[in-house]
């Protein structure tokens, strides 16, 4: 056996590099803007920091905005409706819930001032999502770039392809797999619910009429059930009220989400279902005990997510304004 300390140091450094630079789509490049916009990452970082100062919910919103764009990462979620297409902003998974457009628009203005017509809106969104996580105490990962903005959007596609919090785990997994992700990605990307809020209608069925039984979800922690019934009473006017997805550390990106699932305190049925399936429960348990493992895997899965359906090279465009094509 090799007892040379330098040998183990080399292995450690190599492993660290693999963590910091997860494998990405070969069409994307970690140094894509090195020459054309060297200050890009600092501009985005500052823009996100300013947004979080004004609204502590914005970290979760930017992360969700990127996720909802990246079942085909082309900036389509940012487009407003036009005469030729109905966009994604009013699709069921996005209506009255997806937000943060003005933050991306503001960052885009700053980026255009520094690097005119060089950086796509979809790349700005991908970097902003990373910053939202990192500035909330979560992991940092390197974002490969080179995505170009698409020319259209589809409300119908968003309705059909985006996972819903009221869907069974099998349906959600199938939608991930259809995009080249896997069951592990489902579990690790669900960990984004360690920050942010959900509207009452997305989980109210668990409180009063679980699967048509007229009774609450028997797996839901009794103390949490009592609390949620007071904040989300069984009346229609409470449907859009907000509750934190993780009430223990609502604005901190950590592994408390998984600890909550282990103690039957997941807010959404689709989240708690991860503990009801042995294929995913062991991953949840691992992340609840080892936050570094969650952070490492989250960065890698975000790179995979950000590589779905990208437009590169001469395909697509660099939008001057994120809400409309040039």
Domain assignments of the chain as residue spans, ordered by start = 39-162+307-312, 169-301
The C-alpha angle with vertex 71 and arms to 65 and 72, in degrees rounded to 5, equals 100
With H, G, I as helix, E, B as strand and everything else as coil, classify residue 145: strand
From 106, 99, 89, 91, select the one nearest 60 (Cα to Cα): 99
Q: 68, 108, 130, 206: which one is catalytic?
A: 68
Q: What is the homologous superfamily of the domain 169-301 according to CATH?
A: Peroxidase, domain 2 (1.10.420.10)
Q: Please give the residue that has the higher pLDDT: either 24 or 183.
A: 183
How confident is the model at residue 25, as a pLDDT?
54
Q: 197: which 2 tokens?
A: 């809020």
- For the annotated binding site for Ca(2+), the residues are 69, 72, 74, 76, 88, 194, 246, 249, 254
What is 39-162+307-312's CATH number? 1.10.520.10
Q: What is the mean pLDDT of residues 51-68?
A: 96
Q: What are 201-223's pLDDT values in tens digits?
A: 999 999 999 999 999 999 999 99
Tokens 């009592």 belong to: 226
Q: How far apart are CA 12 and CA 10, in angstroms?
A: 5
The pTM assigned to this predicted structure is 0.90
Q: For the chain, what is the mean pLDDT? A: 91
Q: How far apart are CA 325 and CA 149, in angstroms?
A: 8
- For the annotated binding site, the residues are 69, 72, 74, 76, 88, 163, 193-194, 246, 249, 254
Separation of CA 71 from chain center = 11
Could you give the residue ranges of the DSSP H alpha helices within the chain?
A: 5-20, 40-54, 58-69, 101-114, 121-134, 155-161, 169-178, 183-190, 204-208, 222-231, 256-262, 269-272, 278-289, 291-305
Q: Is-catalytic flag, 68?
A: yes
How confident is the model at residue 256, as a pLDDT?
97
- For the annotated binding site for heme b, the residues are 193
Q: How far apart are CA 217 and CA 212, in angstroms?
A: 10
State yes or no: pLDDT of 311 exceeds 80.
Answer: yes
Contact at 8 Å (CB) between 316 and 151? yes
Q: What are 93-133's pLDDT values in tens digits?
A: 888 889 999 999 999 999 999 999 999 999 999 999 999 99
Contact at 8 Å (CB) between 45 and 280? no
Residue 283 has phi, psi (to 5 degrees) of: -70, -45
- For the annotated binding site for substrate, the residues are 163
């Amino acid at each position: 056996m090799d007892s040379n300390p330098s040998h183990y140091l080399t292995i450690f450094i190599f492993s660290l590099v693999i963590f910091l630079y997860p494998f990405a789509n070969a069409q994307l490049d970690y140094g894509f803007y090195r020459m054309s916009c060297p200050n890009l990452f600092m501009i985005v970082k500052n823009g996100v920091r300013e947004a979080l100062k004004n609204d502590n919910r914005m970290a979760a919103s930017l992360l969700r905005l990127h996720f909802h764009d990246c079942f085909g990462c082309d900036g389509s979620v940012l487009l407003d409706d036009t005469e030729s297409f109905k966009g994604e902003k009013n699709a069921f998974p996005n209506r009255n819930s997806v937000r943060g457009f003005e933050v991306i628009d503001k960052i885009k203005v700053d980026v255009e001032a520094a690097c005119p017509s060089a950086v796509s809106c979809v790349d700005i969104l991908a970097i902003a999502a990373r910053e939202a996580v990192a500035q909330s105490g979560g992991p940092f990962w390197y974002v490969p770039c080179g995505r170009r903005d698409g020319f259209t959007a589809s409300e119908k596609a968003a309705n059909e392809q985006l996972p819903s919090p009221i869907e069974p785990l099998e349906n959600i997994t199938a939608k991930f797999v259809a995009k080249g992700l896997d069951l592990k990605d489902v579990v690790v990307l669900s960990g984004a619910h360690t920050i942010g809020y959900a509207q009452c209608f997305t989980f109210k069925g668990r409180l009063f009429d679980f699967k048509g039984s007229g009774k609450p979800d028997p797996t839901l922690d009794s103390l949490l059930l009592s609390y949620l019934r007071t904040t989300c009473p069984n009346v229609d006017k409470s449907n859009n009220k907000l509750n934190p997805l993780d009430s223990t550390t609502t604005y901190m990106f950590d592994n408390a989400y998984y600890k909550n699932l282990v103690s039957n305190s997941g807010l959404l049925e689709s989240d708690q279902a991860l503990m009801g399936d042995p294929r995913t429960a062991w991953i949840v348990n691992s992340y609840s005990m080892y936050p570094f493992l969650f952070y490492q895997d989250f960065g890698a899965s975000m790179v995979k997510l950000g590589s779905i359906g990208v437009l590169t090279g001469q395909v697509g465009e660099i939008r001057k304004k994120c809400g409309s094509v040039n």
